[in-house]
Amino acid sequence: MSYGVLHDPEALLAEELPLDRTPVTALADAILARKNVKGLRAGDCAQIALLLTGHARVVAAEVGRRFENLPKDSDLRPLIDQVLQEAERRLSVTSRTTLAYAQQRARLVKALYRALDRLPNPGPRPRTPDLCGSPGGTG
């Protein structure tokens, strides 16, 4: 079986994907509760870390969008800015296959969701035209 890596340098997918928070936070809690890799199959930590990394990127993009909409004098700006800088630093690290790495990604996802929960929701974003140019993304 072969696997591919999704390449999305412009973060276009983050614009369209809804955040499926419940299963991802349940996974994060489960991996954080583990004390060792006993019972995990080979590659499980790598796959969990990969999933959490992708989710962290999507949540960080949403936190960033909401951060940009904060008033310049908001008391939240320094805190959210720090969370975003830490997320950028952690997400720049090359992926590893260890339990500790998967747990680090789980902590990052939880921190990003805590930041997201503190930010006002600006409401739905307007849809951008699809590649064919029709509004609303329908062909």
Is 5 contained in some domain?
Answer: no
Instruction: Take residue 22 and report the two structure tokens written for it.
Output: 């419940």
The mean pLDDT value for 28-41 works out to 92
Residue 14 lies in a domain: no
Domain span at residue 72 reads 20-121
Judge whether 83 lies within some domain.
yes
Averaged over 98-125, what is the pLDDT?
A: 90
Q: Tell me if 100 is assigned to some domain.
A: yes
Q: For residues 76 and 118, is the Cβ–Cβ distance under 8 A?
A: yes
Among 6-15, 42-51, 103-112, 129-138, name the most confident range.
103-112
Whether 8 is in a domain gets the answer no
Inform me whether the pLDDT recorded for 72 exceeds 60: yes
For every residue of 18-29, DSSP letters joined together read PP-HHHHHHHHH
Residue 29 within any structural domain of the chain: yes
The residues, ordered by sequence, that sit 6+ positions from 54 with a Cβ below 8 Å of its Cβ are 6
What pTM, to 2 d.p., does this model score? 0.76
What pLDDT does residue 1 have?
47
Q: Which pLDDT belongs to residue 18?
A: 62
Does 78 fall in a domain? yes
The percentage of the chain sitting over the pLDDT mark of 90, rounded to a whole number, equals 62
User: Domain total for the chain?
Assistant: 1
* CA 10 – CA 8 distance, rounded (Å): 6
* Residue 121 pLDDT: 83
Query: What's the mean pLDDT when you consider all of the chain?
Result: 83
